[in-house]
């Protein structure tokens, strides 16, 4: 059975640790964090696990075959690169890195060593997003016209990333999973309302090669929490509301058809379909457990996970393009030009 | 008592006619529409009113002191200009015209003749928007950080205007009324999913001189109807949900304050205020009646209405800038450059 | 084409008049109301219709084949009886009468003269209730365990009837339509919080022969308007929410199955089914129009309408039993004993 | 510092244990449960605590000053009595006992020994219920007309208690806390839809001495989870919705006033007040922690807790009366006659 070590035991690390204990095929071997109180908490919950203050020690541990990295974004690259170089498989918190160049280097390093490099894009392992992908894959939505997401709440203000890198990253990962087309360009607007704080509100438009248009509304200063996406297809439309305890995904048999016979200006342009709505039963399995099972499966089979390093790179590319556009007040930034000719 | 004539008795004209009959200080004298069935409907509801197929006859009628224009947008300019030249006060359906140049000419003509030129920006006469303006004016919201509106539903596809001119126009009028600052630039994205149809989805970001950032999400192809705006201020935040039958305006005593004493990177950046929510009782008076009373008051007193010709011009300017930006995939268009040096 | 006269042009009469004009197979011939302003309103909307202050004149009118009665409940009996005796078909506002005895007399009189006696139980002609009945009839709900309705709002306080006769009457009519079983007994509690006012809050439990249990919560003094019924079946469950603009009927593939193999006290008693939810597309046709078409069809074919006089009688019987139980603080009143041995 | 022992480590016991560890003034000393796996779980979470399979050992432990009892209802009496006789303060899970007689005996025993006997009526220690009680106490609601609660969901079917003893018990405890008047009688209806299962649906009406009327709708077989109470007062009305994450308590400045001047039958009976709605900020403190702090405070000060043994007895009395009424199909059962002349 492969063994895993977790680097970073702050906000998200404990969740990974708990999820690992629920996956039979993986053994939790070590936890590293520079904070002594954090390690004490880790020790109480996982008494038989090796504890380290220095992540380099954890990487050097021969009982550790894979590492999960749950540290601040700015440290992802150094740790992940060291882990790969030590021959460890890597599961890294999202976003994978803070620059496209670093993401490219990690992808190359993993490929060179034939190691699994996987990004913790948790949402694509939820029952809800998987159900939507099935709808798309079996053609029930038809052509995807748009993906329109609102992801707002009060807090958490962070020091090291802005609201795009904190919240829009989820939608970029979902888009990368759902829309089977190349993003061409991004236009984004953002604002920072507090002095010396990162941007806390942003609106992003993403243009895809197949005509799909995505829009993300992210905001740390909203009075209520909203996690909702509207997905419009030529055949059906979906509302994905992650704040609902049940009926997270609603499929509407609604849409418009061009009015074939309309000849004069006064005739109606389109016909409306107003059919039934259906909310499918979703898998109640915790996304993080599904994700770690996928990680183990990829380690053992060599099969690429859906959120592999390439996916992580594409998401970082979109984040970088969006950031650049906000400085230019929405001027569209083309994707594909941000990568290095490495 | 002044007399009014209504030009156009299709979708909106009958509402104006009914509202006029509820205002004691104004007499409904004539209705003009080229459609005979429309005039028959008008005659059944308003038996004593003069009916015309040609709006020029209505304008020539000496018992008519003012005209309300509820015709397709492309015809607003010709009719309004003729009415002003005939010495009539004008209330014109939104948007005032289909170009900035035409809007400027109407404003000039009305000023030259000292006539009331008013645009039917109905929302600014609702109890909800008036309550929000009061909150802003008495400082309870503090600085306005953002106005973020979602205005989506299934239909109505129109032939002569796109979704921006049809739906975003409402928010531009509300912004013109609420935000006491100059809009500087607009970045907009749009898409048309049906062949030979106008754009049916758009996202618009508006940058104001005082730092306020507005965003509008308009869409004719959504599975459900949403009419909701989040307004974030430094002191309080508002949700304005026009689909609610009660509690359309909710005021949240929530927000963030910079953490004055935070010295180290690990300290929290901001403090959160999580106070009470309050939904004020709103005036139940119909907005259209309030608006027509304002029209009469302006005719009699010479006082400018809040939705005067200048306001109509500013809204058309924003519509034109947004349209131009969509062609350039979100490239920001500066406002103020669209006006002619007339 | 049969002609109809409407008696009573207060709150509901105008709706009947308008609906009649939308039914081609029926002619609106006359309207009677003692109030001159009411008749003036009627005349403006229906210029070619005969107007009367005395309903006896309307009944005597030979061009009138059927009458619709929309007067206060206490007058239903006298007017309906006179109309039947004059050979007119009768559509009477709900509740049919204010006593079981009077209802029985009307049923007998209509039967003796082979005239249609129909009660305006509007809800059973809605797309929502019809869809629920179809679900029951084709077995998709299974055995009906319960019908649990909440029908509350602020107002309207009425002088002549209490909240049971005003609001619970709707649910009794729906129950009479949906549950194909005899109601055995009713236990009801009620309270009047204002002096000299009728009861404004009541809770009613109805026991049916097949084990179905119904409960009604009616209240004129609630802060918000609720119109919601939960219907629990052995196979599926339904939420019928009449305040929703879409998705009024939601069908949940949820329920419990006895755990066949459970042997010990500590084993789980039941298994839960948590399947999909479905909201069918409902007929958008106005219920009142459907109802009047049914009235015409019954006049012409002799086929009994679903809300015939017998149905009206059963509903009045339930209202009378509920009223009696409230006086006895919930003591159950058996149904069937309230009828006379006529 | 007083020490506490917890008897029963199944569903609720672990929550009590965790809450105790968050209260500085109380030491968790021992946990008893007959199940070895349960004790193993307890040991992992609370390594330094004494574990027992026999609750008698725990009661005999001199380091234990107080016990919390979280065992099946049928065992509450024997354990609580033994604990009191051993001189321990007692916090017992709700309902206190399964009969009025047993509840009376516990109250007497605690009084004789001057020990704290407290019932775990958790809801009355929530920020929401405390806010409502403040509204009542400072007169802002006026006279309390009604309390109308809906508490329904799918499951959990239990073997040893029916839905009244499982769910209505919460509302009885809340009523005991909020309504400062004697309950006079209860009328209740119930049904069991599965063979060999306890009643899973019930409707209860409670008549109070001051005219307040309460109604409880409890159901284990509803398609969705609802936890909502409407509280109507002469001055204001409240909606308490425990499923909301924020705005659990909404206070409506709405109501009716008798129309003083109404003289004729046709005049309106009442005037409606339609003022603002307010949702106060609620204490986010966990109710169970507040409750345990109250337990410690009562142990140290001798001050009676709001959910003392007398309160537990009154709640059991209401449960017993409700159960009796259901057998008689809603016949009202007077309270006060159920106690023994002890």
pLDDT under 50: residue ranges of chain B: 264-267, 341-342
C276/A276 CB distance under 8 A: no
Testing the interface with C: which of A237, A241, A279 to mutate, by most C Cβ within 10 A? A279
- Of D197, D252, D329, nearest to C187 by CB-CB distance is D329
Q: What is the mean pLDDT of residues A313-334?
A: 94
Annotate B69-104 with DSSP letters as a single string: E-S-HHHHHHHHHHHHHTT-EEEEESSS-SSHHHHH
Residues in chain B closer than 8 A to C223 (CB atoms): none
* DSSP state for residue D196 in the 8-state scheme: T
Q: How far apart are CA C248 and CA C240, in angstroms?
A: 6
pLDDT of residue D267: 46
User: Residue D304 above 90 pLDDT?
Assistant: yes
Query: φ, ψ for residue C265 (rounded to 5)?
Result: -60, -30
State the average pLDDT over residues C281-308.
96
Q: Using CA atoms, how far apart are residues A71 and B162, in angstroms rounded to an integer?
A: 47
What's the gap in Å between the CA of C207 and the closest CA on chain B?
36
State residue C267's pLDDT score.
46
* A247: closest chain C residue by CA: C277
Asked if D312 and D119 count as a contact pair (C-beta separation under 8 A), the reply is yes
Which pair of tokens denotes residue A235?
A: 């055949």
Judged against a pLDDT cut of 80, whether residue D258 lies above it is answered with no
- The alpha carbon of residue C233 is apart from the nearest alpha carbon of chain D, in Å, by 9
Nearest to A187 among B207, B224, B330 (CB): B330
Minimum Cα–Cα distance from B273: chain A residue: A154
What pLDDT score was predicted for residue A168?
97
Contact C65, C88 (CB under 8 A): yes
Residue numbers in D near B282 (CB within 8 A): none
The pLDDT score that the predictor gives to residue A259 is 63
**Cα(D63)–Cα(B316) distance, integer angstroms:** 80
How far D94 CA lies from chain C's nearest CA (Å)?
20
Chain-chain contact of C277 with A275 (C-beta, under 8 angstroms):
no
pLDDT of residue B39: 96
Considering only CB atoms, D281 lies closest to which of B246, B275, B281, namely B275
Size of interface A-D (CB pairs under 8 A): 4
CA distance B40 to C103: 45
Range with the lowest mean pLDDT among A31-40, B158-167, D202-211? B158-167
| Interface touch B145/A221, C-beta < 8 Å | yes
For B333-337, the CB contacts below 8 A with 24+ separation are: B333/B185, B333/B186, B333/B187, B334/B184, B334/B185, B335/B182, B335/B183, B335/B184, B335/B185, B335/B186, B336/B182, B336/B184
**Per-residue pLDDT at D271:** 74
Which chain C positions have a beta carbon within 8 Å of A246's beta carbon? Answer: 277
**Residues contacting residue A37 through CB under 8 Å, at least 6 positions apart:** none
Instruction: Give yes or no for a cis peptide into D156 (omega within 30° of 0).
Output: yes
Task: Give, for C20, the enclosing helix (H) or strand (E).
Answer: helix C13-21
CA dist C172 and C164 (Å) reads 10
Q: What is the pLDDT of residue D268?
A: 56
Beta-strand relationship, A183-191 and B3-7: unpaired
Tell me the pLDDT band of A342, cut-offs 50, 70 and 90: very low
What residues of D are in contact with residue B281 (Cβ under 8 Å)?
Answer: 253, 274-276
Strands A89-93 and A66-69: parallel
- Beta strands B144-154 and B221-233: pairing type? antiparallel
Record: contact B276-D279, CB cut-off 8 A: yes
The set of chains that have 3 or more CB pairs under 8 A with D is A, B, C
3-state secondary structure of C88: coil
Question: How far is the C-alpha of B146 from the C-alpha of B214, rounded, in Å?
Answer: 5
SS3 sequence of B255-308? EEEECCCCCCCCCCCEEEEEEEEEECCCCCCCHHHHHHHHHHHHHHHCCCCCCE
Task: Choose the closest CB to B276 out of D253, D274, D278.
Answer: D278
> 3-state DSSP call for residue A242?
coil
Q: Using the beta-carbon criterion (under 8 Å), do A279 and C277 form an inter-chain contact?
A: yes
Pairing of strands D27-32, D89-93: unpaired
Query: How confident is the model over D129-136, as a mean pLDDT?
Result: 97
> Would you call A291 helix, strand, or coil by DSSP?
helix
- Angstroms from B44 CA to nearest CA on chain C: 8
Which chain A positions have a beta carbon within 8 Å of B221's beta carbon?
Answer: 145-146, 232, 237, 255-256
Structure tokens at D333: 């059962």
Which chains sit next to B, with 3 or more Cβ pairs under 8 A?
A: A, C, D
Q: Is the pLDDT confidence value at A215 over 90?
A: yes
Q: In this complex, which of B274, B275, B279 lies closest to D276 when CB atoms are compared? A: B279
Interface C-D, measured as beta-carbon pairs within 8 A, has a size of 176
Give how far A200 is from chain B: nearest CA, Å: 11
> Closest approach of chain C CAs to the CA of D331, in angstroms?
4
When pLDDT is averaged across residues C244-272 and rounded to a whole number, the result is: 74
What secondary structure letter does DSSP report for A123?
A: G
Task: Count how many pairs of residues, chain A against chain C, have C-beta atoms within 8 Å.
Answer: 25
Listed residue (B235, B237, B163, B145) closest to B204, CA to CA: B163
Query: Do residue A269 and residue B197 have CB atoms under 8 angstroms apart?
Result: yes
B245 chain-C contacts, CB cut-off 8 A: 225
- 3-class SS at B165? helix
Asked if the Cβ–Cβ distance from B217 to A148 is below 8 Å, we say yes
Segment D183-210 shows an average pLDDT of 92
What does the block give as tokens for B88? 């009539």
Q: Which of C108, C67, C107 is nearest to C87 (CA)?
A: C67
pLDDT at B45: 86
Count CB-CB contacts under 10 A for residue B74.
Answer: 12
Residues 6+ away with beta carbon under 8 Å from D186: D204, D205, D206, D207, D318, D321, D322, D325, D332, D333, D335
Task: Provide φ and ψ at A25, rounded to 5°.
Answer: -85, 10
The CA distance from A126 to A285, in Å, is: 8
- From the list D194, D238, D272, the residue facing C258 with the nearest CB is D194
With CA atoms as reference, the chain A residue closest to C253 would be: A281
Average pLDDT of the segment spanning A172-191: 95
Nearest by CB to residue D265, choosing from C150, C155, C159, is C159
φ, ψ (nearest 5 deg) of residue A151? -135, 85
* Per-residue pLDDT, A158: 67
Pick from C131, C132, C127, C133: nearest CA to C283: C127
User: Of A43-47, A94-98, D144-148, D258-262, which gets the smallest average pLDDT?
Assistant: D258-262
* pLDDT at residue number B266: 45
Neighbours of chain C (3+ CB pairs under 8 A): A, B, D
Span D314-323, mean pLDDT? 97
B3-121+287-307 CATH, one of 3.30.1460.30, 1.10.760.10, 3.40.50.720, 3.10.105.10: 3.40.50.720
Shortest distance between the Cα of D84 and any Cα of chain C, in A, equals 29
**Has residue C61 got a pLDDT over 80?**
yes
Q: What was the pLDDT predicted at C336?
A: 79
Q: Which of D191, D223, D277 sits opposite C239 (nearest CB)?
A: D223
Give the Cα separation of D166 and B300 in Å (integer): 70
Examine the pLDDT at A318 and tell me if it is beyond 70: yes
- The pLDDT tens digits for C154-173 are 876 666 789 999 999 999 99
Q: Write out chain A residues lying below 8 Å of B35, CB-based.
A: none
Q: Is B78 exposed, middle or buried (0-12, 13-18, 19+ CB in 10 A)?
A: middle
* pLDDT of D341: 44
Q: What count of CB pairs under 8 Å joins B to D?
A: 25
Query: What is the predicted pLDDT for the residue at D146?
Result: 97
Number of Cα atoms under 13 Å in the Cβ half of residue D94: 27
Token reading at B298: 């302006």
CATH architecture of D3-121+287-306: 3-Layer(aba) Sandwich (3.40)
Homologous superfamily of domain range C124-284+319-334? Dihydrodipicolinate Reductase; domain 2 (3.30.360.10)
Alpha-carbon distance A233 to A212, whole Å?
A: 9
Mean pLDDT of chain A: 93
* Structure confidence at residue C268 (pLDDT): 56
B262 Cα to chain D: minimum distance (Å): 24
β-bridge partners, A134: none
The ipTM assigned to this model is 0.91
Mutation choice for D interface testing from B127, B140, B245, B247 by most D CBs within 10 A: B247
Who among A246, A247, A275 is closest to C281 (CB)? A275
CB contact under 8 A, C279 and A281: no
Residues A103, B291: Cα–Cα separation, whole Å: 58
Beta strands in chain C (DSSP E): 3-7, 27-32, 50-52, 66-69, 89-93, 117-120, 144-154, 183-191, 201-208, 213-219, 221-233, 237-241, 249-258, 270-279, 333-334
The residue extents of the domains of chain B are: 3-121+287-307, 124-283+319-334
Given a cut of 50, whether residue C247 has pLDDT beyond it is yes
Q: Which residue has the higher pLDDT, C261 or C137?
A: C137
Nearest to D332 among C195, C230, C331 (CB): C331
Look at residue D70 in the predicted model and tell me its pLDDT: 97
CB contact under 8 A, D253 and B277: no
Output the pLDDT for position A107: 98
How far apart are the C-alpha atoms of A238 and B227, rounded to whole Å? 18
Please indicate whether, in this complex, the C-beta atoms of A275 and C253 are within 8 angstroms of each other.
Answer: no
pLDDT of A329 > 80? The answer is yes
Distance CA D37, CA D43 (A): 10
Is the pLDDT confidence value at D273 over 90?
A: no
Nearest chain D Cα distance for residue A49, angstroms: 14
- Are D54 and D71 in contact by the 8 Å Cβ rule? The answer is no
The answer to which of A71-85, A175-189, B257-271 has the lowest mean pLDDT is: B257-271
Q: How far is D252 from chain B (nearest CA, A)?
A: 9
All residues of chain A having their beta carbon less than 8 Å from the beta carbon of residue C276 are 278-281
pLDDT of residue A4: 98
- Domain A124-283+319-334 maps to which CATH number in 3.30.70.890, 3.30.360.10, 3.40.50.2300, 3.40.30.10? 3.30.360.10
Residue contact A276–C279, C-beta within 8 A: yes
All residues of chain D having their beta carbon less than 8 Å from the beta carbon of residue A245 are: 225
Question: Cβ distance C177 to C129 under 8 Å?
Answer: yes
Q: Name which of B246, B277, B280 is nearest D279 (Cβ-Cβ).
A: B277
Distances in Å between the alpha carbon of B80 and those of B15, B84, B108, B121, D201? 19, 6, 12, 16, 67
Domain A3-122+287-306 CATH assignment equals 3.40.50.720: yes
One DSSP character per residue, A48-93 reads: TSEEES-HHHHHH-TT--EEEE-S-HHHHHHHHHHHHHTT-EEEEE
Which residue from B335, B307, B325 is spatially nearest to B96, judged by alpha carbons?
B307
Cα–Cα distance, B50 to B65 (Å, whole number): 14
- CATH number attached to the domain at C3-121+287-303: 3.40.50.720
Would the pLDDT of C341 be above 70?
no
Yes or no, beta carbons of C145 and D232 under 8 Å apart: no
Across the interface, whether the CB atoms of D221 and C232 are under 8 A apart is answered yes
On the question of pLDDT at A250 being above 50, the answer is yes
Q: Does pLDDT of D276 surpass 80?
A: yes
Cβ count near B219 (within 10 Å): 24
Cβ atoms C255, C231 nearer than 8 A:
no
């Amino acid at each position: 059975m492969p063994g895993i070590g977790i680097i970073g035991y702050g906000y998200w690390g404990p969740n990974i640790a708990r999820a690992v204990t629920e996956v039979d095929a993986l053994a939790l071997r070590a936890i590293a964090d520079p904070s002594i109180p954090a390690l004490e908490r880790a020790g109480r919950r996982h008494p038989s696990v090796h504890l380290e203050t220095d992540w380099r020690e954890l990487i050097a541990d021969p009982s550790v075959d894979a590492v999960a990295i749950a540290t601040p974004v700015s440290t992802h690259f150094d740790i992940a690169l060291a882990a790969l170089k030590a021959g460890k498989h890597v599961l890294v918190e999202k976003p994978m890195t803070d620059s496209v160049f670093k993401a490219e280097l990690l992808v190359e390093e993993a490929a060179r060593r034939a190691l699994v490099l996987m990004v913790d894009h948790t949402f694509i392992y939820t029952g809800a997003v998987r159900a939507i992908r099935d709808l798309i894959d079996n053609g029930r939505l038809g052509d995807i016209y748009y993906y329109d997401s609102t992801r707002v709440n009060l807090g958490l203000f962070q020091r090291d990333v802005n609201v795009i890198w904190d919240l829009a990253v989820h939608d970029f990962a979902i888009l990368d999973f759902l829309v089977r087309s190349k993003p061409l360009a991004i236009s984004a607007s953002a604002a920072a309302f507090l002095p010396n704080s990162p941007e806390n509100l942003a609106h992003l438009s993403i243009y895809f090669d197949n005509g799909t248009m995505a829009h993300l509304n992210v905001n740390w200063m909203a009075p209520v929490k909203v996690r909702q996406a509207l997905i419009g297809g030529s055949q059906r439309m979906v509302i994905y509301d992650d704040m609902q305890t049940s009926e997270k995904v609603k499929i509407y048999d609604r849409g418009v058809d061009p009015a074939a016979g309309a000849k004069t200006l006064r005739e109606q342009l389109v016909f409306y379909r107003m059919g039934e709505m259906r909310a499918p039963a979703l898998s109640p399995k915790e996304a993080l457990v599904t994700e770690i099972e996928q990680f183990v499966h990829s380690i053992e089979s060599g099969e690429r996970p859906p959120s592999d390093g390439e996916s992580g790179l594409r998401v970082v590319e979109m984040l970088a393009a969006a950031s650049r556009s906000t400085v230019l007040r929405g001027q569209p930034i083309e994707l594909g030009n941000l990568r290095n000719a490495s």
